[in-house]
Amino acid sequence: MATFKFAVLPGDGIGPEVMGAALDVLEKACEKSGDELSFSTHDVGGIAIDNFGTALPDSTLEACRRSDAILFGSVGGPKWEHLPPKEQPERAALLPLRKAFKLFANVRPGLLYPQLADASPLKNERIPDGIDIVCIRELTGGIYFGEKKTWAENGETAASDTMLYRVSEIERIADVAGRTAMGRKGKVCSIDKANVLETSVLWRKTVSQYFKTHFPQIELTHLYVDNAAMQLVRNPNQFDVFFTENMFGDILSDEMAVVCGSLGMLCSASLGDIQNSLGLKFGLYEPAGGSAPDIAGQGIANPCAQILSAAMMMRHSFGRGDTAAMIESAVRRAVCDGFRTADIAFGKKPVSTTDMARAVIERL
Ligand code: NAD
């Protein structure tokens, strides 16, 4: 028996609703495995701006530092949209958290159960067995973090952003991709734009060398990002694990999310090299979607993405792959047994957020 310590940051909109459901499931799952949870809840995002004047208060950051993982809801909403970009909840909370804990790898499973094929905009015959792929995005480098400039030039304004990658940054994300593929079909596709960008030429060379040395058993392929975007809608299951740099990953991971149906089903883990007190990876776990202000407060949000994010936390930060698998299987069975929130109902009578969580708990 062990005690697992994590910080809970529900955030805004549907965040607190789906977080409550996920914690109920997690507590029940850990009761079964004989483990204990020790967590404290803290403000982040818009609610933190209201209560503390900043999206990431020092007290929240400190609580995360004292923890072995972060379970994150979602932040933002119309109330805070008037703020300057730098103070917006997402940018002012998530980016500093990623930076503080050096979370350089975002792992997002693209999982669509065959029973939910109607949720995908793809024709059912293209995905007869659903979808099961993983997108890994480099999170702390590239054009979002390079030098930014705006200047006056010949009577007009010009601006530039710099895309920069170092070999060490490419190798460490390649390592995450390789390890992820080892536990799956052993296939990795690296995505770049090596026909145009210097950073991509370095990316491709470094990745090829890294896999040759460290993962000779993995089947490595390369695709240009424009082609990858097409392939992802043409036949998503041709991928097993694909990985790419920050901006390409930002775009492709959202494309993958829409191909996989509802945002309410998709979870993610942001991981780095920092070890927690258990000697495992410190990580931030959150749903792929946002705070969904259009449905917030109605008790109808799909809690599955948050529940599955909690399962990822059990696997990566607490070394409880068995508990994670138990939760994942319970979610799958609840959905396949016909329990559906409105976003995945498709003619079935929709259930509430709490009823969905209850259905998962009953199947643990
Ligand atoms: P969104 O992901 O919040 O919502 C897009 C659509 O998906 C909406 O129709 C919403 O109802 C639906 N949806 C999302 N999650 C759902 C769930 N669990 N159950 C059922 N339906 C769900 O994206 P948006 O509307 O572009 O953004 C809303 C706010 O969220 C913005 O302020 C944005 O900045 C923020 N946001 C935050 C994060 C984050 O915290 N990581 C990520 C994306 C967007």
Ligand 1 near 76 CB (within 6 A): yes
Residue minimizing CA distance to atom 17 of ligand 1: 264
Q: Which two tokens stand for residue 223?
A: 């695709």
Choose the residue to mutate in 343, 351, 360 for probing ligand 1, maximizing ligand atoms within 8 Å of C-beta.
343
Instruction: Please name the amino acid found at residue 71.
Output: L
Ligand 1: centre distance to CA 233 (Å): 22
- DSSP states along 168-189: HHHHHHHHHHHHHHHTTTSEEE
Question: Tokens 């259009």, residue?
Answer: 294
Contact indicator for 83, 99 with CB cutoff of 8 Å: no
Contact indicator for 226, 251 with CB cutoff of 8 Å: no
| 132 assigned to active site | no
Residue minimizing CA distance to atom 10 of ligand 1: 292
All domains of the chain, ordered by start, with CATH?
Answer: 1-109+263-364 (3.40.718.10), 121-259 (3.40.718.10)
Ligand 1 near 302 CB (within 6 A): yes
Q: Among residues 226, 322, 337, 348, which one is catalytic?
A: 226
Contact indicator for 290, 80 with CB cutoff of 8 Å: no
Ligand 1: centre distance to CA 331 (Å): 21
Ligand 1 near 328 CB (within 6 A): no
User: What's the pLDDT at 262?
Assistant: 80
User: What's the pLDDT at 86?
Assistant: 87
Ligand 1 near 304 CB (within 6 A): no
Choose the residue to mutate in 82, 250, 251, 295 for probing ligand 1, maximizing ligand atoms within 8 Å of C-beta.
295
Which residue from 14, 81, 93, 83 is spatially nearest to 57, judged by alpha carbons? 93
| 250 assigned to active site | yes
| 144 assigned to active site | yes
User: What's the pLDDT at 261?
Assistant: 84
Ligand 1: centre distance to CA 75 (Å): 9
DSSP β-ladder status, 267-275 and 105-112: antiparallel
Tens digits of pLDDT across the chain (364 residues): 899 999 999 999 999 999 999 999 999 999 999 999 999 999 999 999 999 999 999 999 999 999 999 999 999 999 999 999 889 999 899 989 999 999 999 999 999 999 999 889 999 989 999 999 999 999 999 999 899 999 999 999 999 999 999 999 999 999 999 999 999 999 999 999 999 999 999 999 999 999 999 999 999 999 999 999 999 999 999 999 999 999 999 999 999 998 998 889 999 999 999 999 999 999 999 999 999 999 999 999 999 999 999 999 999 999 999 999 999 999 999 999 999 999 999 888 999 999 999 999 999 9
Contact indicator for 305, 287 with CB cutoff of 8 Å: yes
**pLDDT per residue over 292-332, tens digit each?**
999 999 999 999 999 999 999 999 999 999 999 999 999 99
**pLDDT per residue over 178-232, tens digit each?**
999 999 999 999 999 999 999 999 999 999 999 999 999 999 999 999 999 999 9
- DSSP states along 19-47: HHHHHHHHHHHHHHHT-EEEEEE---THH
